[in-house]
Structure 1
Amino acid sequence: MTVLVGYASQHGSTREIAQRIAARLRERGHTVDVRSLGEAPALGGYEAAVLGSAVHSGSWLPDASDYVRAATAPDGRMPVWAFSVGLARVVGGWFEKYAQESEEVARLRETTDLREHRLLKGALSPEHLPLFGRAAYRIMGEVRRLP
């Protein structure tokens, strides 16, 4: 089976996850093409797709959102698996549920044969945050260290 593993990543962790998924698929005998969704790879020629994006403010990155809207059509159903990468999985609760049901995942449910969606833990480096975010990050770290 020929599989597209497409990703949208801002700082690289989603790309790394896509590469790990591709490696596992190759171990199982599949032909895999790992591509940035910003390159808008055509779905023609693939028998299945695994699509993923970093999640910011409850939504996939624009490259992934644009790709889902443009490349998925009800008449061209194919098996699709999806993954979202973000801090919601780390924080849990309402944040995790909110990320599970993003607009993009709902669109995939409507326009493809979405087999499964997984929310994965993202990586956070303080240097990726604005000044206020860095302060909050530091405070949260201090709170977690309290007995």
Structure 2
Amino acid sequence: MTVLIGYASEHGSTRGVAERIALRLRERGIEAEAVRLSRARDADAYEAAVIGSAIHGGTWLAEAADYVHRNAGALAQRPVWLYSVGMAKAIGGRFEALAKDPREVAELRAEVAPHGHRLFAGALRPSHLPLAGRVLYRLTRGRYGDFRDWAEIDAWAAGIAAELTAPDGRARPRTPEGGAPA
């Protein structure tokens, strides 16, 4: 089984999450490749997919949403998981609540029926923000750093691996009608 761990990343946090998920799946004997979605093969080249994007302004990067829309037919027949990476998780409160379901993810759920969506915190460095953004961030007592929770990411990857290798076939590809094949 070959699993696409596709990502769209602007500053590298999402790429790091994708690489970690791929590593954890490979440790469990699953062939997984982390690849930027602009360079990924069509989804029909894979037997499952874990697709993620950085969140900017409450939305996925166009590269990720475009890949899923272009490959919706093939993805709808495979086990798929979605994830988002952004600072909203680290900030918490209403920012986290809004980011838990980015606009595109609701659309993508209808197209590909993913097994789940997860929001992870990212990393933030001063160079990621324009001057005005850095000033505002400091005024609100924001702090810079890498906020990715590797234990949370590892646990999610372990759950995906368990579904992909489950003897009862829970994560088997779906038929066009949405159910598991007989």
Structure 1 residue 30 corresponds to structure 2 residue 39: no
Cα RMSD, aligned residues only:
1.9
Pairs within 5 Å for 1:89-128: 89-128=89-128
State the secondary structure of the residue aligned to 1:114.
coil
Shift in Å, 1:21: 0.3
Structure 2 contact 49–80 (Cα < 8 Å) conserved = yes
Cα-to-partner distance string for 1:99-127 (whole Å, 9 max, x where unaligned): 12212211221122311111000111011
Q: Which amino acid aligns with 1:86?
A: G
Counterparts of 1:104 and 1:134, CA distance in 2: 27
Q: Which runs of 5+ in 1 are unaligned?
A: none
TM-score (normalizing by structure 2): 0.73
Counterparts of 2:129 and 2:86, CA distance in 1: 14
Cα-to-partner distance string for 1:57-105 (whole Å, 9 max, x where unaligned): 1101111121121111288421111110001101212211211221221
Pick which of 43-52 and 92-101 moved more.
92-101
Q: Which amino acid aligns with 1:107?
A: E
Q: Which runs of 5+ in 2 are unaligned?
A: 144-182
Structure 1 contact 77–113 (Cα < 8 Å) conserved = no
State the secondary structure of the residue aligned to 2:4.
strand
Shift in Å, 1:7: 0.1
TM-score (normalizing by structure 1): 0.89
Shift in Å, 1:140: 2.8
Is the alpha carbon distance of 1:127 and 1:75 closer, same or farther for their aligned partners in structure 2, counting shifts above 3 Å? Answer: closer
Shift in Å, 1:40: 4.5
Counterparts of 1:55 and 1:75, CA distance in 2: 21
Quick check: which one's strand share is greater?
Answer: 1
- In the alignment, which residue of structure 2 is the partner of 1:81? 81
Is the alpha carbon distance of 1:134 and 1:66 closer, same or farther for their aligned partners in structure 2, counting shifts above 3 Å? Answer: same
- In the alignment, which residue of structure 1 is the partner of 2:61? 61
Structure 1 residue 10 corresponds to structure 2 residue 10: yes
Cα-to-partner distance string for 1:6-32 (whole Å, 9 max, x where unaligned): 000001111011000000000111011
Q: Which amino acid aligns with 2:37?
A: L
Q: What percentage of residue pairs aligned between the two structures are identical?
A: 51
Pick which of 92-101 and 127-136 moved more.
92-101
Q: How many residues align?
A: 143
Structure 1 contact 89–96 (Cα < 8 Å) conserved = yes
Pick which of 60-69 and 23-32 moved more.
60-69
Counterparts of 1:41 and 1:87, CA distance in 2: 29
